[in-house]
Amino acid sequence: MGGYFFVSPTNSAHWSPDQEKLSSATINGDLVTIHNVRNATYTTETEYDVAYYDKTYDVSKIQSVDYLVEPFGDFSGSAHTFLSFGFADGSYVSLSVEIRKKVGQSFNPWLTFLKQYELMYVVADERDVVKLRTNFRKDIVYMYPTRIDQAHAKKLFLSMINRVNELSQKPEFYNLFTNTCTTNIVRHVNEISEIRVPFNYRVLMPGYSDKLAYDLGLLDTDLPYEKIREKYKINEKAEKYANDPDFSKKIRE
């Protein structure tokens, strides 16, 4: 047990092929060039061809930020959450905080307390991270538009990109209570927003986090909460437009 305290996170291991490369970014004023934007093509959930591209994004032209919730498992509080940023040129990029799996590993929540998983920010094309979940894992995915304005969206994006760069140099462990997909999103939001996301069980149980965001007025909808999941479930459209070059546009229509 004493060895637990001396285990350090690493960026050097035999990683799962879809998480082998870390992203990084070069920031030049409003222009952010992201290196290694993942764009994997899937045959099944576990069979895929991994590709990457570099792309320069103008953060002064962010037009939208969407909050995505992917419930999974038998417990209604279990979910993965991530953000997608939309730009004036019609491009979208997703940032998804995940465990970084070594070859042969699968996620076990209890192992996160034993320093078994590093943490990574997957920076990816929506045709990768969204379709993986809707079309291959067959998980329900909700895509909620947020009320964030352009100035705060820019700050949020840069906050997350700076963390991408930090993790590329200084790895961390994923922890189910303190360092997860949702706790990291909350930290970024609280860093840039006047609306503070409080410590709340719905952060630790992100299957309920859309209700928390709704209650705080962060989601861009006037519908009653009971109706929003019906409206913003994107699975049917993701299946229908799987091979459409305007996939990101179509799943939002």
**Model pLDDT, residue 51:** 98
**Model pLDDT, residue 109:** 85
* Alpha helices (H) along 132-200: 150-169, 181-192
- What are 41's strand-pairing partners? 49
Q: Please, which residues have CB within 8 angstroms of residue 41's CB and are 6 or more apart in sequence?
A: 48, 49, 51, 128
**Model pLDDT, residue 11:** 97
Q: What is the mean pLDDT of each run of 10 residues along the chain (253 residues)?
A: 73 97 98 98 97 98 98 93 98 98 91 93 98 98 98 98 98 96 98 95 98 98 97 98 97 96
**Model pLDDT, residue 74:** 87
> 233 in helix, strand or coil?
strand
Q: Which helix (H) or strand (E) holds 248?
A: helix 247-250
**Model pLDDT, residue 4:** 59
- What are 175's strand-pairing partners? 179
> 219 in helix, strand or coil?
strand
CA angle centred on 23, ends 22 and 28, rounded to 5° = 150
> 70 in helix, strand or coil?
strand
What's the length of the chain? 253
- What are 55's strand-pairing partners? 34
Q: What is the pTM of this model?
A: 0.96
Number of H helices, E strands in the chain: 8, 10
Yes or no: say if 32 and 57 are a contact pair by the CB < 8 Å rule: yes
> 86 in helix, strand or coil?
strand
**Token output for 176:** 């189910």
Yes or no: say if 60 and 154 are a contact pair by the CB < 8 Å rule: yes
Return the sign of the alpha-carbon dihedral for residues 97, 103, 109, 110. Answer: negative
**Model pLDDT, residue 3:** 57
